[in-house]
Amino acid sequence: MVCSNSPYRRVQCDQQVPHCGQCIRTRDQCSGYRDEWDLVFRNQTGDTIKRTMERRAPKEGQTSLPLKCNSSPLPPPDLGSSHDELGVNYFLYNFITGSQSSSRGYLNYIPAYYTADSHYPPILVASMAAIGLVTLANTTRQPQLAKHARAKYSEAINQVNIALASPTESVKDSTLMSVISLGLFEYVSDFTSWARHVRGAAALVVARGKCQFSTSAAFPMFNQVRADMVAVCMYSGHPFPEDMCELQEEASRHMDTTSAFWRLGTAATKCTNLLWVVRKNSREFPWSSLLEQATVLQDELQYIFGVLSMESGYITSRKPGGDPTISYNERFDVYRNSWDIRVWNNTRILQIIICDSIRYIMNQSLAIDLVPVIRTHMELRLLDTQGILSKLGKDIIATVPQALGIISSASDTGHTIDVSSDISGSAGYMMAWSLYTAGKSSVMESETRQWIIERLQDFGHNAGITMALQLVEDIIKIDQGAE
């Protein structure tokens, strides 16, 4: 890895971050490093928002796309009227844990001490305003707000890059918070843009070093970047970065490693690496060894499910005659809040990946001559794994109504369900990967997969989450191949 000026001078690049130390010494303008871990974030909002709005604009002679539900909730009426305040408060109201509605708030990397009365750092204000405005613009179809979102995003990107050029500003929590928040904006673009942004966020986390864990805010931010990096690696077929694994090891020295949430995060990195090995294995590793590793991970995830059941269980309900586009087979599950939905679904995603890997490994093993008793055992386990996969997919689908804000949490006394017409602005962001993983599962029935396809298309067309449309193309191909 060398900086962009290195090929044009005799002095070798010293690979310091965020800029080459030789460039600083010679006062040369350094644009950073040119590998995939580039810390300079690109401003692509103009093209991406324009494409999104053009796609969603009604063509001549056509009506606009039908909305499955009425509109997104507006911020509380006592908030300010400026676009900055509108965007920031919409972001906080829809994305940050602690909202009164159980269908909102699944991000927790912004510390609790940033409250409505606090003075936010300008870099964080611009980031949150950009996300809030673009989400509100997409869900309420207001192109004018999209213009303000574009302006705030440009401002935020510029401030991020200025901060990254400063040795003191680049390691501040507010800088990393802004970078992570802006990752949500890339959902209006495509996977490539989002993945590039996630890799940049991971590079920033690594650049902050081991000392970053001296502050409490570092842990939820690290968890968020780690989760995003897992998704990027699994989708693109890469192992989890070794330098992030080293930081994970350092973080484990400062927290309770027995908690279900931390064990889930470390299991995710192991699942990512196992999936990478299984995908590329051509007899370098015995299938029996990989099956053993997958079984250990499956047992670990099953343990996490048990802890979640005791600490944050959910209620399964049915609503006869309900909207089939919301509640599939009339089922919906009710959780305490969206954070619980996220943790449960992340665990299900990993279990689906491990179970699919187990099925693949066993099918490879069954293709050779086996002792009859071993063959029978594998065939029985295949059936058992297929049942587990089917249940996991249905459980993910049953989280959709609450994630959309159609239902609220069960009350403490009567476990009643309040029906609402509001849609959470964060629903598509929270559910896209879960539904994608369930939809491409090897045992998913075509009818159920088609329901998932329609929901992801809703997220793309009606909420402006373009990446959902890109993900759904993979599921469509799988569904067509299964016919």
CATH number where 27 lies: 4.10.240
Which among 203, 228, 255 is the end of a domain?
Answer: 255
Give the Cα separation of 133 and 139 in Å (integer): 10
Same domain as 277, residue 250: no
Beta carbons of 396 and 440 less than 8 angstroms apart: no
Same domain as 242, residue 103: yes
For 168, counting Cβ atoms within 10 Å of its Cβ (0-12 exposed, 13-18 middle, 19+ buried), the class is exposed
Q: What are phi and psi of 33, to 5 degrees?
A: -100, 155
Domain that includes residue 117, residue range:
83-255
Same domain as 107, residue 22: no
Number of Cβ atoms within 10 Å of the Cβ of 42:
12
H helices of 190-241, in order, are 191-208, 218-236
Q: What is the pLDDT along the chain (483 residues), one digit of tens a residue?
A: 445 444 334 345 555 544 566 666 665 555 454 333 345 565 554 454 455 445 444 443 332 322 233 333 334 433 344 888 888 888 888 887 654 555 566 677 776 545 544 567 888 888 989 988 988 888 788 888 888 888 899 999 999 999 999 989 998 888 998 999 898 888 777 788 899 999 999 999 999 999 999 888 889 899 999 999 999 999 999 999 999 999 999 999 998 888 898 999 999 999 999 999 999 987 788 999 999 999 999 999 999 999 999 999 999 988 887 788 888 998 999 998 888 999 999 999 999 999 999 999 999 988 887 888 989 999 999 999 999 999 999 999 999 998 887 776 544 333 444 433 344 557 888 899 999 999 999 899 999 999 999 999 988 888 888 889 999 999 999 888 765
The reply to whether 50 falls in a domain is no
The reply to whether 66 falls in a domain is no
Number of Cβ atoms within 10 Å of the Cβ of 255:
13
Give the Cα separation of 243 and 396 in Å (integer): 32
Beta carbons of 204 and 177 less than 8 angstroms apart: no
Same domain as 290, residue 242: no
Same domain as 344, residue 302: yes
Same domain as 306, residue 280: yes
The reply to whether 69 falls in a domain is no
Beta carbons of 182 and 160 less than 8 angstroms apart: yes
Radius of gyration of the chain from its Cα atoms, rounded to whole angstroms: 23
Same domain as 290, residue 250: no
The reply to whether 330 falls in a domain is yes
Nearest to 3 by CA among 36, 40, 32, 38: 32
Supply the DSSP symbol for 42.
Answer: P
- Report CA-CA distances (Å) from 94 to 49, 61, 81, 168, 306: 21, 35, 17, 31, 29
Supply the DSSP symbol for 96.
Answer: B
Give the Cα separation of 342 and 339 in Å (integer): 5
Q: How many structural domains comprise the chain?
A: 3
Same domain as 261, residue 246: no
The reply to whether 59 falls in a domain is no
In this predicted structure, what is the pLDDT of residue 34?
A: 38
The reply to whether 42 falls in a domain is no
Which among 255, 280, 298 is the end of a domain?
Answer: 255
Q: Vertex 298, ends 294 and 301: CA angle to 5°? A: 140
The reply to whether 46 falls in a domain is no
Residues 6+ apart with CB under 8 A from 113: none
Lookup: tokens for 418: 């309040």
The reply to whether 406 falls in a domain is yes
What is the separation of C-alpha 162 from the centre of its chain, rounded to a whole number of angstroms? 26
Q: What are phi and psi of 430, to 5 degrees?
A: -75, -35
Residues 6+ apart with CB under 8 A from 49: 134, 146, 149, 150, 188
In this predicted structure, what is the pLDDT of residue 63?
A: 29
Same domain as 262, residue 244: no
- Report CA-CA distances (Å) from 281 to 357, 369, 457, 482: 12, 19, 34, 24
In this predicted structure, what is the pLDDT of residue 277?
A: 95
Same domain as 218, residue 360: no
Same domain as 300, residue 197: no
Which among 255, 281, 305 is the end of a domain?
Answer: 255
Same domain as 305, residue 245: no
